Each structure stands twice: as C-alpha cells, then as structure tokens.
C-alpha cells in the first residue's frame, strides 16, 4: 500500500532529490527516471523501481502496475502532491511519475563484440542530451551497445535518461578506458570506423561488415589522432554548406543508418 507523503523533508524524498547529483548516485548506487513511459519501458526490460513516486490520485493502469511491481519486489511507493513531484524532478511541469532504479552494470567485459552487427563508441562525449539521443538511435538500429570512453558524461544523469526516452534500459551501455576497449574489440574480427574531417573518403564508399563499430569523437574536438590511427577506416559525410560539422548525435545517426541499410540490403 503506497504511503502518502506531504512533507518536502521526508527522508526518502530528500534522498531521491539528491540523485540529481552524480556523487549521490554513486554513493547510493541508484538513479532516477521520470515519466510513465520511461518507467514502464524500464519495467518491461526487467528493471523494477526501488522507489516509485507518483502524483496522489493517479489511477493510470500503468502507474498502478508500476506501484504493484515496486511493492511486490520490496520497494517503496510514495503518493505525493504535484508540488513535491515538481521538486523531485526539478521541473515546473513534472512528469506524472518518478522511478528510482539500481545503477546499471556498465562493465565492458560483460558484452560480446560478436553479439550484434552494429555498435557505437563515443570518445569523451560531453552533452547528456546528445548521449540520450544516441541511445535512442542505438535502440532503433538494434545496436549491441553504446560504449563510452574516457571522460564521457554520466549516462545516469537526469538529462541523459530523459533524452534517451527509455532506451537507456533497452540498449547496453559500457564505460571503459580507450586501451581496454581496443583490447576487447580486437578479440573478434570487426571494423572500427571513425568520422573525421581529415579524410576525403565518402561514408557511402566503404562496405561495412558485421560487426561495425561506429566511433564518434567529442563534440568540440572530434576524434584525437591516436584514436583515428586505431580505426580501420575514416570516413566523412558530404557537407555542402558553410559549417564543417554536424551535431554528434545527428552524425552518429546518419552513420548508423548507412551501416544498417548496407546490412539489410545485402
């Protein structure tokens, strides 16, 4: 039976609010996801909330299911006012529910590079919105996972989870140092392809095998030289305008659909 919480200073509410900060996520081993759709996707992917916070009076079938599953697994369901929900989510116009989940396993060693035809690798990706968008595209192309190298942003931030629209729960994520990634990658035959401004090779002129690893550089600086040197191919998209680069999530998506299209037309 959900408890009704009317105070901002309730201990659980305070703990959940604290999860907006990375240090608290690490200390607690938890992160939060907002919205009925994302929480339901999580549940369907086998992730039951530890804590479920919802607006009092919410009788939506999916909300009730989330509450039931949370309580059945020993978690806590809390009914709160819209004001408290807004405080928890940090938004004036909050989504109807907030779920708190165990941090996901992001070890690279649990993944098999031969298990999927397409993968994404991001080097020092900074913007959580870009990461969420890339996760969403990764889900769409049935990627084996998104591998975050070096100083990439935290996939469990509120912004990344929100932009992923739930793909965070359906697409494996790994965090690794560059060297460890390259060692892992080379345990199987695969193509590592980087997008680069330094090549004239058209991205459609390369035949992409299974698996192909699409390697995206940082938003500002692109791929560092030593990573470009580790690639099996460097390619570029036609850029006919004044700008010399695309948004990283856009560029990644154009690459991923090229690889997917080649695979499906084979």
Instruction: Rule CB under 8 A: choose which of 41, 111, 176, 191 binds a second copy.
Output: 41
97 or 141: whose CB is closer to a second copy?
Answer: 141
Token pair 């369907």 is found at 44
Burial class (CB in 10 A: 0-12, 13-18, 19+), 229: exposed
User: Phi, psi at residue 66, to the nearest 5°?
Assistant: -60, -45
Helix, coil or strand: residue 219 = coil
104 or 254: whose CB is closer to a second copy?
Answer: 254
CB of 216 closer than 8 Å to CB of 133: no
Cβ partners under 8 Å of residue 139, min gap 6:
167, 170, 171
Token pair 């819209």 is found at 82
78 or 120: whose CB is closer to a second copy?
Answer: 120
Assess 20 for contact with a second copy (CB under 8 A): no
- What is the per-residue burial (b if ≥16 Cβ within 10 Å, else e) of 90-110? eeeebbbbbbbbeeeebebee
Assess 163 for contact with a second copy (CB under 8 A): yes
- Binding flags for a second copy, 55-94, as an x/- string (CB under 8 A): ----------------------------------------
Q: Applying CB under 8 A, which part among 55-63, 98-106, 166-174, 190-198 lies near a second copy?
A: 166-174
Assess 173 for contact with a second copy (CB under 8 A): no
Tell whether omega for the bond before 160 is within 30 degrees of 0, i.e. cis.
no
9 or 266: whose CB is closer to a second copy?
Answer: 266
Q: Kindly identify the residues of this chain, within the stretch 243-262, that bind a second copy according to CB under 8 A.
A: 243, 245-247, 249-250, 253-254, 257, 260-261
Token pair 């039976």 is found at 1
Residues contributing to the site for a second copy (CB under 8 A): 41, 44-45, 129, 133, 136-142, 163, 165-167, 170-171, 204, 237-243, 245-247, 249-250, 253-254, 257, 260-261, 264
């Amino acid at each position: 039976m959900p408890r009704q919480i009317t105070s901002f200073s309730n201990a659980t509410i305070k703990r959940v609010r604290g999860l907006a900060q990375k240090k608290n996520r690490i200390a607690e081993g938890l992160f939060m996801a907002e919205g009925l759709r994302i929480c339901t996707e999580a549940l369907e992917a086998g992730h039951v909330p530890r804590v479920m916070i919802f607006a009092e009076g919410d009788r939506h079938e999916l909300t009730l299911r989330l509450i039931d599953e949370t309580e059945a697994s020993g978690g806590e369901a809390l009914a709160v006012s819209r004001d408290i929900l807004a405080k928890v989510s940090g938004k004036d116009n909050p989504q109807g529910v907030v779920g708190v989940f165990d941090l996901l396993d992001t070890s690279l060693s649990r993944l098999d590079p031969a298990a999927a035809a397409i993968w994404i690798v991001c080097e020092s990706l900074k913007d959580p919105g870009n990461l969420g968008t890339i996760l969403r595209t990764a889900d769409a192309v049935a990627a084996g996972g998104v591998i975050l190298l070096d100083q990439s942003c935290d996939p469990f931030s509120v912004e990344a989870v929100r932009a992923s629209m739930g793909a965070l729960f359906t697409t494996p994520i790994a965090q690794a140092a560059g060297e460890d990634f390259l060692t892992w990658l080379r345990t199987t035959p695969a193509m590592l392809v980087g997008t680069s401004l330094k090549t004239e090779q058209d991205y459609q002129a390369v035949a992409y095998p299974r698996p192909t690893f699409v390697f995206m550089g940082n938003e500002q600086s692109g791929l560092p030289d030593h990573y470009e040197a580790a690639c099996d191919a460097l390619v570029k998209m036609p850029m006919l305008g004044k700008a010399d680069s695309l948004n990283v999530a856009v560029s990644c998506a154009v690459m991923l659909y090229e690889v997917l299209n080649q695979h499906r037309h084979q």
